[in-house]
Amino acid sequence: MEGKINHKNRNYIRFSKEMNEFQTEGFSSDFDVSKTLRSEKEKKHKNQPTNKFFFTRLQYNSGDWNTDQRMPSNLLNSLVEYTTIPVDTNEKVIPLGDDALFSSPFCYLSGHKLVEFDREERANFKQYVENGGFVFVDDCNHDIDGLFAKSFEAEMTQIFGENVLKKIPNDHQIYHSFFEFEDGPPTTSVELNGWGDDLVHEYLKAIEIDGKITVLYSNKDYGCEWDYDHRNKRWMARDNTRFGINIILYALTM
């Protein structure tokens, strides 16, 4: 079954509430949630990194960036429920061209329509990624031939070069960074109901720098899959946001 618990998993031992129930402060003081992005822009920006994890949605000038509006709060609730990581439960929306981006430990970018960055957006995306940031990109169309997928992939080619997005193996560390996903990326209900290209994508793609994923790219529409009130999880046999926890823990610990 997808999303199993492994009590020998290093991150599960370190960050799970189950394994740290007697920890008085609820969090390991030697771990800093904030990313050091080594950016002059970040150093000059008035907003300093916080020791609370916060979820940043990237606003870009083309397309429809404001999708799946309940998803961030649902995922943040799961982070509170399963881990000892301190969490700011309010989603932050930051324009991609704004230097505030460089204080974000984790960014999310999604949409259905055209992705066409302007000059500032393109420069910030490149610098954020190359300086150690993490962006999770999700195709809300669930369509490898759709407008979002084609235009986003073209943007990545323009910024980083040809064939920079590569399939990651299904035994990659991201599938074991908290919960265990032995068969790779979990299938979404969107993939099974005929939406988009009517295919089950058995892989994710990524841009890796120095052996670490910096851009994780999905055509599986996890945003829609997790777009519901967190109180409705009680009706599920297995919480489907567990893979989202893996993505965040990978971003914070690798």
Tell me, what CATH number does 115's domain have? 3.40.50.12140
Across the range 35-53, mean pLDDT stands at: 55
- The reply to whether the predicted model has a pTM over 0.75 is yes
Secondary structure element (H or E) that encloses residue 245, with its range: helix 242-253
181 — pLDDT class (breaks 50, 70, 90): very high
Q: How far is CA 156 from CA 34, 149, 152, 161, 249, in A?
A: 25, 11, 6, 7, 24
**DSSP structure string for 45-86:** SSS---SSB--EEEE-SSS-----TTHHHHHHHHHHHHB---
Instruction: For residue 1, tell me if it sits in a domain.
Output: no
**Residue 56 reports pLDDT greater than 50:** yes
Counted domains in the chain = 1
Judged against a pLDDT cut of 60, whether residue 23 lies above it is answered with no
Find the range with the poorest average confidence among 12-21, 71-80, 96-105, 199-208: 12-21
- For residue 216, the model assigns a pLDDT of 98
Is 103 a residue whose pLDDT tops 90? yes
CA distance 122 to 118: 6
Assess if residue 218 is contained within a domain. yes
137 bridge partner residues: 109, 217
| Cα gap 61→187, rounded to integer Å | 31
In a domain, 54, yes or no: yes
Tell me if 3 is assigned to some domain: no
Please state the rounded mean pLDDT for residues 168-175.
Answer: 97
Residue 4 located in a structural domain: no
Is the residue at 244 inside a domain? yes
CA angle centred on 179, ends 177 and 185, rounded to 5°: 80
Is 164 within 8 Å of 207 (Cβ atoms)? yes
Q: What is the mean pLDDT of residues 48-64?
A: 87
pLDDT at 192: 82
Does residue 61 carry a pLDDT above 90?
yes
- Residue 29's pLDDT is what? 43
248: in domain: yes
Please check whether residue 5 lies inside any domain of the structure: no
More confident residue, 110 or 37: 110
pLDDT grade, residue 25 (50/70/90)? Answer: very low
Handedness of CA 209, 35, 92, 245 (dihedral sign): positive
Q: Which domain holds residue 151?
A: 10-253
